Structure 1
Amino acid sequence: MRAWFWTLLVFVAAVALALVLRDHSGNVLIIAQPWRIELSLTLAVLLILACFVILYIVLRVLAWIGGGPERFRSWRSLRSQKREHELLESGWINVLEGRYTEAEKDLSKLLGKTRSGSRKVLAGLASARASHHLGEFERRDQALALARDSAGSDPRLREAAATVAAEMYLDQNRPQDALVLLQPLQDANSRYFHATRLLLRAHRQLRNDDRVYELTRLLARRGVLEKTEALQLIETSAAARLQAGGPDGFKAIWGDLKSDERTLPDIALAGAAVQQSQGNIDEASRILEAALQVRLEPRLLNAYSQCPPEHVARRLSKAELWLKANPDDSALLAALGNLCLTGELWGQGEHYLLRSMKLRSDMRIHALLGNLYDRLGRADDAARHWRLASGVAGVLPTLPVSRALPAADMRGDPTLIDVGRLPQARVLRDMPAPVAASAADFAGDEFSDSVAAAVLAPEPPPPDTPSSATAGEAGLDEYFDSAPIPGVDVSQTSDRPARGSGQN
């Protein structure tokens, strides 16, 4: 628009000048001894304009020539900046795509060339992230130190370096180092939500439940955390606070919770446990019932089914109302069975437990049935359900009735011979083969005594029977091959006298 305005202005001036000069008949006399120059006014004006234009062009050319070195330096700087931008862009793209080795090459070149503090900070942080993902933590720390030094007094660059370093420390499970960097950022600006989320993560790793609860509340109020994630964090942190606070801190912690948060399973279990530890069974019942009205969670039902016998009737009536609306809930049926066992309502308890077992074969249900049948004196049924409970648990297999292996038959062993050191021992040749022993027919000490008597009882030698030593040698000669081994001098390898040596 400005160019069009100046063009129009020049044309208007030209037209006005032409109109003025056309009707003007004046002359211009220039006397410069010894010359006398006389020109018309129109020609004089045109010459002046031409001289002005020429002088302007000459001066611009001289200025362009004089600014050559500076222009060359500027061109080199622009070219260097372009290359640095390309290296920085390529390095960050490689980091985001996971090509960390290529990213380190580009960023190392940039760090060695650039003189810009901001580009050096960005390149250092990108290089630190690449080294972190490669597991080279020493190089990462060097890159982070370079980025912090290059940031100088620029607050934004210093915050960026601190945030990136804290995030990597949290990935490395170093929450205390991350807290040192993040806490100043949180104190300076509470609306710095990314730093607040990192601070929440650090306190979760340190199990600082009070700070986790406070930061979760803050982020949920600002809309940074999703409702599901916030409720999960509030549930775990508030339950831990209730357990740590005990009866003394229960009132303050419980009063700080919203009504929908008190019905969360972990919070309800922790609150009921605190009340039950103080003997406030009715208050514990109300806490669990409020949570169970929202959802029949198995852990809550299990806790609700454990109470003193005097409170069984009230809890049974409440649970039976829930059963009308949820007749096929296995956990609810198991809780009713447990309550019946506590109140010694054996028949009703068996009915509920068998219904629950039809819906789901659960270890706890089998264990409860085993306890029930054991109390009723039905030992076989109790043992069967206890075995099923161990099988459902997956730790122990369900084994058949244990039986011992049968003893080995040693009657044909050639080494069982009479020796001179035990003159009264006899070979177990005439005894019957042993049978498999079991826990049912084990005879105890009587069987051991009979075996010992049979082994040690003397047996009179039959007539015309050679001596025991001779019979032993004959038996060995019968069993073992007495032929000499070819190429072996038996007299040098045996401590027994050679046969027939006495005859020679």
Structure 2
Amino acid sequence: MKFVLWIIGLFALAVLLGLAATVNTGYAILFVPPYRMEVSFNLLIVAIIVLILLAHGALRLIALAVRLPEEVRQFQRQKKLKASRHALREAALAFFEGRYQKAEREANKAVDDEFAAENRALALMIAARSAAQTNDIAHRDEYLSQLEGLPERLQLARHMLEAELNYEAKQPLEALAAIERARAISSSLTSALKLELKIRLKLKQPEAVLQLSEKLLKSDALDAAQARRYRLAAYAQQLAGFAGSEEISTWWRKIPEVERGNAELVAQVAQRMLALGDADAAATLLASALSADEDASELALPLADMAGQISAAQRIRLMKEAEAWLKSRPRDHQLLFALGCLAQEQKLWGKAQSYLEASLSVTPTLQACAKLASLFFALEKPEAAERYRQQALEIALATA
């Protein structure tokens, strides 16, 4: 429809121009001494229009010729840029495919012809990460040094990459320095705090680990289970530095109550006290935890293991306390086993046998069978000892 309207319009314009030309009978005189020329006014108008069009076309040609070198340069630049962007995409794909040598090669191509700072930074980071994956430390550091010349807004990514690469290369001090630079730009960056937490733990700085884990827990960057694992690791590092049970007792009182109820930590503290030669203090700690928490039955096993190192008075006191605990949990096979071990060390053979057999009747375990076998060997009852030894062997084979 538009085409038809254009055709009609052009014909109408031609008719109007033809009518105007017949109406206009004037002429123009061109006088250039010694010449004089008379031309139709209509012809003069047409000539002027043609002249303007020719002048315009000539000027366009001249401008095009002048701009031609720049156009060629722009074309070549766009061609290189297109190739560079293609290489960057190929580098990213190759990196995630695990083809690190190709990724580094393509990233280098992208760096050469890329003028956008963000894309150059991305290409250099891919190249650095790829070089690190192939253990090419020299090239890795070269790529990282090239990132220094990029704008300040891109330095945070560079510092974080440098921290991660140094951490993976087992250079915690260099990684920590990079994290400090990153935190100077963004103090509350969660990824930097989480990486710092790992580094502080590796460097055995438990106080910093405790502070960071609490901070990350409050910001929901760590869940409760993860935070607890980090806290337990930090407490274990603190525990290893103590040289006496008194120091441990003072430190233990300062730990939050919720952590003192952790069975795993209680067992670690008890083992440390035992290693320092204070078996009675270790047993007291385990007994307190068993008394306070009915779900901490697994602590009865380390108590049973240290039965032979506890003083006789302590064994008797523990047996009295444990008998009271049995009223609320009479089928706790681990507690029954611990009582049997304590009674056996105390040479209370009848009690030891009854406790161990009760434990075995609730849950048959290799430890209970072995203890009963040793008990009957001590009582010079080889047939009964052999029976329990065979039962222990059957349990061992069944669980192998």
TM-score in same-fold range (> 0.5): yes
Other structure's SS at 1:190 match: coil
Q: Which has the higher helix share?
A: 2
Aligned to 2:15: none
Q: Does 1:336 align with 2:345?
A: no
Partners of 1:256 and 1:78 in 2: CA distance? 65
Which secondary structure does the structure 2 equivalent of 1:322 belong to? Answer: coil
Aligned residue for 1:89?
89
Equivalent pair of 1:268/1:288 in contact (CA under 8 Å): no
Partner of 1:267: 265
Match of 2:355 in 1: 352
Please give the alpha-carbon distance, in whole angstroms, between the structure 1 residues aligned to 2:105 and 2:156: 26
Q: Counterpart in 1 of 2:288? A: 286
Q: Aligned match of 2:190 in 183, 193, 196?
A: 193
Q: For residues 177-210 of structure 1, give each alpha carbon's deviation from its aligned partner in whole angstroms, at most 9, with x where no partner exists.
A: 3223223323543322222222222233333333
Identity %: 20
Q: Equivalents in 2 of 1:143, 1:96: separation in Å?
A: 18
CA spacing shift, 1:30–1:173, aligned 2, 3 Å: same
Is the CA contact 2:200–2:206 (under 8 Å) kept in the aligned structure 1?
yes
Q: Which residue of 2 aligns with 1:301?
A: 300
CA 133–143 in structure 1, closer or farther in 2 if over 3 Å, else same: closer
Please state if 1:311 is matched with 2:314: no
One-letter amino acid of the structure 1 residue matched with residue 323 of structure 2: L
Confirm or deny: 8 A CA contact 1:163 1:181 kept in the other structure.
yes
Deviation at 1:58, TM superposition (A): 6.3
* Contact 2:319 2:339 (8 Å CA) reproduced: no
Kept after mapping to 1: 8 A contact 2:263/2:296: no
Shift of residue 315 of structure 1?
Answer: 2.3
State the alpha-carbon separation in 2 of the partners of residues 256 and 93 from structure 1: 49
CA distance in 2, matches of 1:133, 1:126: 11
Paired position in structure 2 for 1:365? 368
What is the root-mean-square deviation of aligned Cα atoms in Å? 4.4
Unaligned 5+ runs, structure 1: 1-27, 395-504
Does structure 1 residue 215 correspond to structure 2 residue 222? no
How far is the alpha carbon of 1:90 from its aligned partner?
0.5
Cα distance per residue 1:125-175 (max 9 Å; x no partner): 3233333333xx2x2432332332343153344333333233233333332
| Equivalent residue letter for 2:71 | R
Structure-1 separation of matches of 2:204 and 2:139: 30
Q: Which residue of 2 aligns with 1:321?
A: 328
Structure 1 residues 103 and 180: alpha-carbon distance in aligned structure 2, compared to 1, 3 A threshold: same
From 160, 165, 177, give the equivalent of 2:157. 160
Could you list the per-position Cα deviations for residues 227-283 of structure 1 after superposition, in whole angstroms to 9, with x for gaps in the alignment? 322222222222332453564475566545352x33222222245567884849766
Q: Note the C-alpha offset of 1:355.
A: 3.7
Alpha-carbon distance, 1:86 to partner: 0.8
Counterpart of 1:318, as a letter, is W
AA aligned opposite 2:337: A
Contact 2:128-2:144 at 8 Å conserved across structures = no
Give the deviation of 1:76 after TM superposition: 1.5
Displacement of 1:80:
0.9
5+ long unaligned stretches in structure 2: 1-25
Equivalences for residues 128-167 of structure 1 within 5 A: 128-134=128-134, 137=135, 139-152=136-149, 154-167=151-164
Say which SS state the counterpart of residue 219 (structure 1) adopts.
helix
1:171 matched to 2:165? The reply is no
CA distance in 1, matches of 2:171, 2:374: 49
Query: Shift of residue 358 of structure 1?
Result: 4.8
Please state whether the residue corresponding to 1:106 is helix, strand or coil.
helix
- Aligned in 2, Cα 1:187/1:317: closer, same or farther, shift over 3 Å? farther
1:205 aligned onto 2:212: no
| Counterpart residue number, 1:227 | 224
Say if 1:220 and 1:227, in contact at 8 Å, map to a contact too.
yes
CA contact (8 A) 1:121 1:148 kept: no
SS in 1 for 2:329: helix
CA contact (8 A) 1:312 1:343 kept: no
**For residues 31 and 337 of structure 2, what CA distance do their matches in structure 1 show?**
132
Call closer, same or farther: CA 1:391–1:193 in 2, change over 3 Å: same
Counterparts of 1:352 and 1:103 in 2: how far apart (Å)? 67
Name the amino acid aligned to 2:319: V
Does the alignment pair 1:241 with 2:244?
no
Cα distance in 2 for residues equivalent to 1:390 and 1:175: 48
Higher relative contact order (CA 8 A, sep 6+): 2
* 1:233 to 1:51, Cα distance in 2 relative to 1, 3 A: farther
1:362-400 superposed Cα distances (whole Å, 9 cap, x missing partner): 443234224433554435645775787699789xxxxxx
Q: Which amino acid aligns with 1:263?
A: G
Q: Based on CA coordinates, which of the two structures has the bigger radius of gyration?
A: 1
1:173 and 1:274, CA in 2 relative to 1: closer, same or farther beyond 3 A?
closer
